[in-house]
Structures are given as C-alpha cells and as structure tokens.
Amino acid sequence: MRRVELYSAYLLNKESFQFPVLSAPNFFKTMPMTSSLYSTQSVSKELLAEIKKTLEGLDFGSLEVYVVNNQVTQITKRQIKKTGQK
C-alpha cells in the first residue's frame, strides 16, 4: 500500500484502522558473515586498530560504529570544524 492510500484509509476509518506491519526483506539474517575480524562477540586486534586509525586527527566530532547481527558493518567519522579558533 502506498503512503497516500494508507493515509486515506486511516482518515476514512480512524477508530478501527490498523496500520499494516511493514517489514524490510530479511536481508541481514541471510547475509553471509564469513569474517570474524569485525565480530562484536570477540573484538579482534584488527578491528581495534581500524577504530584507532579512524580516531586519529579527530579534534572535534564523533565516531559511529554500526553493528548488525554481531558484526561491525560500518564506521562513520564526523569531523567538525570549529570557527573562530586557532
């Protein structure tokens, strides 16, 4: 059901309307996880080294580590440039 159709159905029948359960395909459960280098069950030296390398030179900002099914899937570095500082 498209969003517009869903909203129209809701407006017509507010009291008894039930939103359908929307779910993405079962992508992550079927993804092969062959490498244990990025496992969160036992953190490897390689993963720690990669996180440490990503942190280097980060004066202001953040580091986000994304985990899916006990596997690190992404490391995002956000660098903030402060204005008016030397």
Residue 12 has pLDDT above 90, yes or no: no
pLDDT of residue 42: 87
Judge whether 29 and 71 are in contact, CB under 8 Å. Answer: no
Tens-digit pLDDT profile for residues 16-34: 656 555 555 544 444 444 4
Helix %, strand %, coil % for the chain, to 5?
30, 20, 50
Average pLDDT score over residue span 57-81? 91
